[in-house]
Structure 1
Amino acid sequence: MPLSIKWCIRWAACFYFIFALIPRSRGSLLNCHKMCICASNIVSCSKMNLTMVPSDLPNYTAVLDISFNEITGLRAQWTKHKLPNLHNLLLSHNGLSFISSEAFVFVKQLRYMDLSSNNLRQLDEFIFEPLVDLEVLLLYNNHISQIDRTAFSGLNSLQKLYLSQNLVSRFPLELLKDKNRLNKLSLLDLSSNRIKVLPIQDLQALPAWIKNGLYFHNNTLICDCQLYSLMTHWYIRRLNSAVDFKDDHTCVHPGPDKRVLHLYDLNTHMNCSTFKETDQEAYLEQTLILSCDTRHRNMTKTWVLPGNIVVSPYDNQSIVPLKDGNLQIKSIRPEDSGVYTCFAVSEYLNETLYVVVKVHNCTLSGNSETLNTAYTTLVGCLASVVLVLIYLYLTPCRCFCCPDQGKKNHHEDSIHSSMLSATPTHEDMATKADLNRHVAFIDPKDLQGQNGKVNPNGEEEVDEEAMKRKGKRKKSVADSISSVFSDTPIVV
């Protein structure tokens, strides 16, 4: 046999062997007649037993459906070139357990992606970062237990995220704290997971349109009165997340029996108080902003003041409706107290909100001045008491060299002490114990041992009334003092 014929046979055998290794029914080359259905810009390869994404997808592909296959991994170069028009990618029911961090580099224009019903166990860092236009992400019915805090970074256009029916035990608060995302996020489904604790204070501060689409029923939440108050408030506001799944909101009792209770029955099981809407409180001259926190965004809002007065942006400069629908009250006054009503209207929904305003008849600075005045008064009273005590008990003798003057000072101090104290002295007790009870006029020279004082100038005053009765009588200063404080005659 010629040598050239042998070489041809060998080359033919090699090509046959190579093509035999390529699966016929699972070929990677796109075949719109056998493997997929191509309808305009839609490529559907569902239920074709594919183990990898078909290559050579046309550039005009806008919707790619490769669900219900056997694709276990989405690698970095699953598409050989960019697909600038691809906005819908359906990969559900494939058994996916691995997604490369560079899997979405060539499909940055995606707006809808379905990764539900797979075997994903974790979401790595920055895995979805290239998808800046993604609006809807479906991840429900997986085995996700770990979510990196940066996994959803870059999803600034995200509106709806479905994470239900997984093994998530931590509430992904980073989704709600990103201010760039809050303006668009309208649905976050975390139901049927293993979350035990919710960030209640952060959830309370969220706008109503986010709380309206925040689902976390069928979790292992620990029963708590704060949780009861939160959900009761949502139910009163008729938020969808609280009303639509009312019977599925359960919690685990913290006791040893670990009973599963209905969340709305905690007021009887744990004696939780009934929720009551709090009033808006303000002080004089403050600026108060009333929020019309509706369940949906982009609603036309109209405010009505107490007394059924409709607010107009041109009627009153102190009460002005803002562009975001809230109401601003400048330099608030007591007559601004009352119930303010917000009527919100959209094409499909009408909503009415009531805000009760209570204005205190004082200013914040006035309160502090009152406190300072009270404190100053208290300190002044204490200082006065200390000075009186020092005056009573620590006053020094005015003349140490003159015994007589010392006695006079002693009697003078005794007089002052009798004026400031109602406690009887020993001399008063001795006087009361004396059996000879008759009225007598005491001579000034006998006042040395009494509780009185002779006129310090040594001059005698004439009592005109005494001159008419029994002649002249000398009157002492002590007599005038005792006449002021007591009408009781001296009993000897």
Structure 2
Amino acid sequence: MHKLLPDQLVWMWLRKLLMLVELFALANTSSHTHSCPSVCICASDLLSCVNQSLQQVPAVLPPTVVILDISHNNLCLLHNNWLSALPRLLDLRISHNQIKNLSAKALHNATQLKHLDLSSNHLETIKKHFFEQLVSLEELLLYNNNIMHVDGHAFTHLSSIRKIYLSCNLLTSFSFSSMQNFSHPHLRTLDLSSNNFSLIPTEEVMALPAYLKNGLYLHNNPLTCDCSLYNMFLHWADCGFSSVEDFKEDHTCLVLGKPRAFVKVLNRHNNFENCPLTNGVFSELHLRVLVGKSLIIPCNSSLHEESINYVWISSRYEFIKYPGNNNQSLKIHSNGSLEIKEAQPWNSGIYLCIAINKRLNHNTTYEVNVTVHYPKYEGEPFKTGLTTLLGCVVSLILVLMYLYLTPCCCCNCRKKSATPSPPYECSAKSSILSTTPPATDGPNRKTSSNKHVVFLEPIKEVQNGKIKQVDPNAKNPKVLQPKPDSESISSVFSDLPIMSL
């Protein structure tokens, strides 16, 4: 028998090893293929079981699934720990089913889940244990259910949540105070529209951070009209919050709670003209600082107890805590004030101070609008007010020159002005301007020569030795006839010194 060389033995063992690896891969692939439910579609990391009239979730699911879609079925119950076989699951869609309740551990073992869609089901209550294990969840869809109550701690463990949709339900109240602490630092959208809210706790809502109020949707609710509600929405509109700007016409309220007497809250021509504008929680401090200078912003909180912790949220949504702050340009002092060192233009924006009293489990917020600007140059042009004043002075001088320094057109003006004109002479050169108003009645009425206001004397004509008023609407009005008495003035400026050319 021919002996194999050592090199040949090595190659033979390598070929056998490769064959074993191939057989193992084929077996593993076949097992994955058989684990895909027959009523579903498996494509890479996607498993779709949409609209298959399923009454329960398939027992065997491929462990490589990242996106699982079992919407539009007849599911009524989700078993405990059914997600333990899907360690890579990121997206779970269970909308349009018949789910009324969730068991204690129905969503356990889904610590990597980021998107959960439970919309269009029959959920009635959101309990505390529903989402306790979903620490990585970012988007939660619960709209179009029959939810009447949400536990105040239902979202406490959702530390990564960004969006919560609760619209089109039957909610009459909501624990806004549970959103005031830092358990939801990334929450930007809270949709509570189209529910049954009749009253909104404005003090709790206004204590929320500004970035959350920007995405707090409360439209299409049967709210009862009051001044606090009007002031809150008006303040949001002035701040340009998206929750108001996107649905401005849908923010309505009911006068005295009557369904037929509803008004648009943000319409300027409504029934809120007599509401006083409050200065409490709706006020906002506006500070200005030059580029490169330092600014200290006080935290004017209503809490003055000793056990107070201060946290600031910068205009760039950075959390600044005391003590221990990594941002070298922002520093919190022991009294809660925030110092901006060497301010730059990107430091402009709204800063939010939150004072937390852990002993009383209470907190308040305070907003400050900071503007960082460059210094103005000294060579600044004239201001508008100074320019307008200068123009008025020049105009006044020109008017005085026109009234008092108008030159005479003839050399013998003074002599002619002393001689009264013939009583009935019709002269085109006679002026129709007089320094006095036209005489009304009485021949003995004397004119005042110290008046310099020009009046237009009405045109008169003489008929049968009497002066007759000429109709101004006549087609061919005649030229004004001068007065025959010696007190008439033939020129507008005859009482002033005449300057001959």
**Greater helix proportion:** 1
Cα distance between partner residues in 1 of 2:155 and 2:127: 9
What's the CA shift string for 1:159-194, capped at 9, x where partnerless?
11100000011123244134221x111110000001
User: Shift of the alpha carbon at 1:268?
Assistant: 3.9
Deviation digits for residues 249-299 of structure 1 (CA, Å, limit 9, x no counterpart)? 0111126686111112477413224578746499xxx96438998887369
In structure 2, C-alpha distance between the alignment counterparts of 1:31 and 1:321, rounded to whole Å: 55
SS at match of 1:232: helix
- The question of whether the paired residues in 2 share the 8 Å contact of 1:118 and 1:142 is answered with yes
- 2:306 paired residue number: none
Distance 2:208 2:153 in 1: 21
Stretches of structure 1 that go unaligned for 5 or more consecutive residues are: 1-28, 300-312, 315-319, 331-339, 346-351, 357-492
Q: What is the identity, as a one-letter code, of the residue corresponding to 1:48?
A: Q
Query: Who is 1:224 aligned against?
Result: 226
* TM-score for both structures, normalised by structure 2: 0.51
Conserved? CA contact 2:37–2:58, under 8 Å: no
Unaligned runs of 5+ in 2: 1-32, 288-294, 301-311, 320-326, 351-367, 373-501
* Aligned AA (2:207): A
Determine if contact 1:209/1:294 at 8 Å carries over to the other structure.
Answer: no
Name 1:366's counterpart in structure 2: none
Letter in 2 for 1:244: D
Are 1:87 and 2:90 an aligned pair? yes
Equivalence map 1:58-77=2 (5 Å): 58-77=62-81
Aligned counterpart in structure 1 of residue 60 of structure 2, from 44, 47, 56: 56
1:244 paired residue number? 246
- Map 1:121-136 onto structure 2 (within 5 A): 121-136=124-139
Counterpart check, 1:297 vs 2:317:
yes
Say yes or no: does 1:149 pair with 2:149: no
Work out the CA distance in 2 between the residues paired with 1:230 and 1:180.
Answer: 24
* Distance across 2 between alignment mates of 1:47 and 1:329: 57
Q: Does 1:159 align with 2:196?
A: no
Matched, 1:328 2:328: no
Q: 1: CA distance between counterparts of 2:257 and 2:186?
A: 40
Q: Distance in 2 between matches of 1:280 and 1:62?
A: 48
Hey, what's the Cα distance between the residues in 1 that align with 2:34 and 2:193? 38
Maintained 8 Å contact 1:160/1:185: yes
* Closer, same or farther: CA 70–31 of 1 in aligned 2, 3 Å: farther
Alignment length, in residue pairs? Answer: 289
Aligned to 1:179, what secondary structure does the other structure show?
Answer: coil
Question: Which residue in the other structure is 1:394 paired with?
Answer: none
With the length of structure 1 as denominator, give the TM-score of the two structures: 0.52
Q: Which residue of 2 aligns with 1:406?
A: none
Structure 2 residue 268 is the aligned partner of structure 1 residue 262:
no
Alpha-carbon deviation of 1:224?
Answer: 1.1
State the match for 1:176 in structure 2: 179
Tell me: CA distance 1:279–1:206, structure 2 relative to 1, closer, same or farther (3 Å): closer
Q: 1:164 to 1:61 in 2, by over 3 A?
A: same
User: Could you list the per-position Cα deviations for residues 205-262 of structure 1 after superposition, in whole angstroms to 9, with x for gaps in the alignment?
Assistant: 3222111111110111111111111111111111100100000001111266861111
Deviations 1:316-367 (A, max 9, x none): xxxx75489x96389xxxxxxxxx996359xxxxxx95579xxxxxxxxxxx
| SS in structure 1 of the partner of residue 204 of structure 2 | helix
Tell me how large the CA RMSD over aligned residues is. Answer: 3.8
Aligned equivalent of 2:112, options 106, 109, 114 = 109
2:50 aligned partner, one-letter code: S
8 Å contact kept, 1:164–1:193? yes
Task: Answer with 1 or 2: which has the greater Rg.
Answer: 1
Of 212, 215, 222, 1:213 maps to 215
Give SS of 1:51's match.
coil
Partner of 1:343: 348
Question: SS at the partner of 1:38?
Answer: strand
1:36–1:43 CA contact under 8 A, matched in 2 = yes
Deviation at 1:64, TM superposition (A): 0.5
